[in-house]
Amino acid sequence: MTSKLIRRLAFKLMTGTSLALFSYSAMAWPNKPIQLLVGFPAGGSVDVLARAFSEVLSRQLGQNAVVINRDGAGGTIATGVVAKADDAHTLMFGPAGPLVLQPHIKTSLPYKPSDMIGICQTFVNNYALVTPQGSKYRSLRDVLNDPDAKGAGVTYGAGGIGTMPHIGAVMFSQQSGAAMRVVPYRGDPPMTLALKSGELQLAVLSVGAAQAQGFRILGVFTPSRLTEAPDAPTMTEQGVPVVAQVFGGLFAPKGLPAEAIKSLQGACQEAVRSERYVSATKASQQEVLYRGSEVFSKALATEYEAMGQTLRKADLKLD
């Protein structure tokens, strides 16, 4: 073999190796900014957590994680977008409702729960039945004694049909015998404005938002009183045994590369320990609770079955 031929073969091998290395580098994850979709409006309790989470995620991954609000339909619009995403850089942060609640009551969703995977759980959200300070409702008993509770229904607001606030009120109605009539809003911010303006007298709102806005809390949908809201009685201790909490965190389309899942779980662990994220949860009266992908996925499956039983009993369908 001539020296010229040897040099030519060596060049081809070197070039091929370089191309292979370049190809591997181009495929490394993440290689562009992460889109972090939130299915609720900016300024709401979920959005506040998502923005705190995205800051830690950006630092850990070395790529910007950009929060994008695609609100509406109880979070199912954002879920549909992420479920059909064709790359590994579109994720969702929020409550589990679109995967464990809405599939039971809305058959025309643009996705199936199996289209998504849970990467990590990072929070539990607590809700309360609230009213403005100047309202005629001074206590939960006033709501139950309202003439509309025995007739057309007491009107209340909820941040979307099929969300946990809505389902919590449905269970409250079942347990108390009070007729309730929902007015859906696109998340906490517009509902807060309606309460402040007097357009709305009752709403199921996150505890943090209720406290921040100075609303009167008539009862919390939690198993026991909250440390941060010790004067707020639970529904159960007032004779209406209802618990309605929702957990959530980071979700992704199925098929996400194992490398990406591992990196994201590491970022999740850093996030729930970070001062920024913990402060955000405390400010909104939500609880930090970390679960890795395997445990989170099992919790989602369990909650899906449990909520299915509850919703079948309520005979609640949207289509």
263-291 pLDDT, tens per residue?
Answer: 999 999 999 999 999 999 988 778 899 99
Given a cut of 60, whether residue 158 has pLDDT beyond it is: yes
CA 287 → CA 119, 223, 252, distances in Å?
18, 13, 22
Minimum mean pLDDT range among 15-29, 189-203, 223-237: 15-29
CATH code given to domain 27-125+246-314: 3.40.190.150
> Per-residue pLDDT for 127 more than 90?
yes
**How many CA atoms within 13 Å lie on the side-chain side of 234?**
15
Residue 3 pLDDT exceeds 80: no
Tokens matching residue 2:
């001539």
Determine the average pLDDT of the residues in 127-154: 96
* 86-109: average pLDDT: 92
Output the pLDDT for position 16: 47
CATH class held by domain 127-238: alpha beta
Q: For the chain, what are the domain ranges?
A: 27-125+246-314, 127-238
**Could you tell me if residue 198 is left (phi over 0), alpha (psi between -120 and 50 degrees) or otherwise beta?**
left
> In whole angstroms, what is the distance from residue 318 CA to residue 183 CA?
14
Residue 231 burial (CB count, 10 A): 7
Q: How many CA atoms lie within 13 A of 158 on its CB side?
A: 23
- pLDDT at residue 4 tops 60: no
Confidence at 28, pLDDT banded by 50, 70, 90: confident
Q: Do domains 27-125+246-314 and 127-238 have the same CATH topology?
A: yes
Cα–Cα separations (whole angstroms), residue 243 to 129, 142, 235, 264: 12, 20, 8, 31
> Of the ranges 43-57, 209-223, 299-313, which one carries the lowest mean pLDDT score?
299-313
What is the rounded average pLDDT for all residues in the chain? 89
Residue 131 has a pLDDT of 98
Residue 316, pLDDT above cutoff 90: no
State pTM to two decimals: 0.81
Query: What is residue 283's predicted lDDT score, i.e. its pLDDT?
Result: 80
What would the pLDDT profile of 205-261 be if each residue is shown by its tens digit? 989 889 989 999 999 999 999 988 899 999 999 999 999 999 999 999 999 999 999
pLDDT for residue 13: 44
The fraction of the chain above a pLDDT of 70, given in percent, is 90
The pLDDT of 180-192, averaged and rounded, is 91
Q: In terms of C-beta distances under 8 Å and separation of at least 24 residues, what long-range contacts does 301-306 make, across chains too?
A: 303/96, 303/100, 303/247, 304/99, 304/100, 304/103, 304/113
